Amino acid sequence: MSKQTYKVCFCFRRRFRLAATEAPPQIKSLFEQYSENGIMTVDHLHRFLVEVQKQEKATVEDAQAIMHNTAHIFHRKGFNLETFFKYLFGDSNPAIDPDRSVHHDMSLPLSHYFIFTGHNSYLTGNQLSSDCSDVPIIQALEKGVRVIELDIWPNSNKDDVHVLHGRTLTTPVQLIKCLTSIKNHAFVASEYPVVITLEDHLTTDLQAKVAKMVTETFGEMLFAPDTESLGEFPSPESLKRRIIISTKPPKEYLKAKEAKISGNGSQKDNDSSEAWGGEIPSYKSRSAADFKDDLEEEEEEEEEDLQDDNCAPEYRNLIAIHAGKGKGGLDDWLRVDPDKVRRLSLSEQELEKAAKTHGPQIVKFTQRNILRVYPKGIRFDSSNYNPLIGWTHGAQMVAFNMQGYGRSLWVMQGMFKANGGCGYVRKPEILMKNDPIFDPRATLSVKTTLKVTVFMGEGWYYDFSHTHFDAYSPPDFYTRVGIAGVPADTIMKRTKAIEDNWIPAWNEEFEFPLTVPELAILRIEVHEYDISEKDDFGGQACLPISELRKGIRAVPLYSQEGDKYKSVKLLMHFDFV
């Protein structure tokens, strides 16, 4: 035991005992059950892996390797309680198998996968006045993002092409710089294809210049289809280490206008100003007035007719994934052509509105075609929306502002931890069936129940200053745990707050009935309770339920920006019943 001192006023100090990390009672009980005379042998550990951790394929050799790799073993014959606890709470016992690489079938058409997708990938900050750069593009690619969006405009002399957010005060970056960075970093994190979506505001001669740039930069990496329109999308497997262009040629060059930006913007006040971002909104709770307000303020990303005669032919020939809404209304937009496939883009509120009347029709459309969803135009702060509105309707490209942060982005990052983090996650079979077609608004029967036990946490003492959470005492941590999924499955619960303790032990169990576990993400957050101010952020993690390992697991926590803390983690138990 050591002590920690906090200054309360000029002449008064408070001293608190700092307890050492100690195994919870349940862990001690398990050790007694799987050990003899205070020693857990290799055979004991093997039995523990099979019976408690539910690793049915674990071998004695696996148990031997765990013992060999766990440092500071004082008893050569096996684990004592301390080293057993060290293994359970260590990096070699994560909730998602670290050795599990790409394991989904990657030979199906692109429309069968959720794809890690960025929005305005070149922006370093907000949507109105931040710098445009290739740096956020590189950062996104290194995190596994597979779809990069570039808005391309003529420069002031109209003789070159810049990337910028049009009609705003964002400073431009040259297109060639962005293309070169994509080429150099596209396959650092994943060898599966990178799609570049171009929002094109160019004249015909500049389109020809872009075509030359793209062809010369990517060379053999570029996938250019033999025919103008594809009858079916190729597979990620067949497009490994390839670059794909997706865009819609505009009917005419639209001249940029200076943005009219008020001092405080028009964004509505909400709880997203909290230190860790606002709670993820339910896509069932939006009113008609909300949609009307959003649409009035929306900066439309217009889908244009693909058969425009003004498009440079060499530019058109590069387009592998054609985008377009068509001339009619929603029924026409969602029409499935048996002879060709395409990409449709809808804003978040366009999709929410369409989902109220055309849910199964949207799901049907996404079985062959690609649906891209993008943030509404008034998200000036580069915030994001609930990604489940897209995923539950089969949308492959749920485009996010990767330069922002908050709960929605944490869920996005959690989804794409699946399938080896390659940026492609196969859509569940429920979204691909035709009899019946999945109705996202229907409430189904419970398929399974996830049981989660939150034992304890540690690491804040090492990663934060001792007055970071509270200037006068050690922190009062509590954990929030819950599900992001279809509306029937979505819920958050919380533990009690443990007062004045850097190593909180909650030992609380929660149950989560799941109707569509294939689309569920486990959400975990730690906060420090503050009676007088907003609670402080203490870490978060989001994990795909489909890859969650049963048993007692160490769960490392991440910062608001999605960076892994060096020491902070929770000890938890997972089971499905």
Annotated active-site positions, please?
119, 165
DSSP helix, strand, coil percent of the chain (3-state; round to 5): 25, 25, 50
d(CA 164, CA 185): 21
CA-based nearest residue to 45, from 93, 115, 95? 93
Give the Cα separation of 392 and 362 in Å (integer).
10
Enclosing H/E stretch for 374? strand 370-374
Q: In angstroms, rounded to a whole number, what is the distance separating the alpha carbons of residues 294 and 274?
A: 22
Query: Within 13 Å of residue 466, how many CA atoms lie on the same side as its CB?
Result: 13
For the chain, the first-to-last Cα distance in angstroms comes to: 40
Residue 257 identity: K
Identify the three-state secondary structure at position 576. Answer: strand
Contact 324, 305 (CB under 8 A): yes
| CA angle, residues 497, 501, 502, in degrees to nearest 5 | 115
3-class secondary structure per residue, 247-266 = ECCCCCCCCCCCCCCCCCCC
Annotate 5-59 with DSSP letters as a single string: EEEEETTEEEEEEEPPP---HHHHHHHHHT-BTTBB-HHHHHHHHHHTS--TT--
Task: Tell me how far CA of residue 443 lies from CA of 119, 137, 364, 415, 532, in angstroms.
Answer: 31, 39, 19, 22, 40
Kindly report the number of other CB atoms within 10 A of residue 387's CB atom. Answer: 25
**What is the distance between the alpha carbons of residues 145 and 185, in angstroms, rounded to a whole number?**
11
Residues 6+ apart with CB under 8 A from 252: 310
How crowded is residue 568: how many other Cβ atoms within 10 Å of its Cβ? 23
- The residue written with tokens 């929603």 in the block is 330
Cis geometry, peptide bond prior to residue 436 (ω within 30 degrees of 0): yes
Pick from 512, 509, 511: nearest CA to 489: 512
List all residues 6 or more positions away from 123 whose beta carbon is below 8 Å from its beta carbon.
130, 131, 132, 136, 165, 170, 382, 401, 403
Q: Is the Cβ–Cβ distance between 232 and 368 less than 8 Å? A: yes
Buried b (16+ CB within 10 A) or exposed e, 252-273: ebeeeeeeeeeeeeeeeeeebe
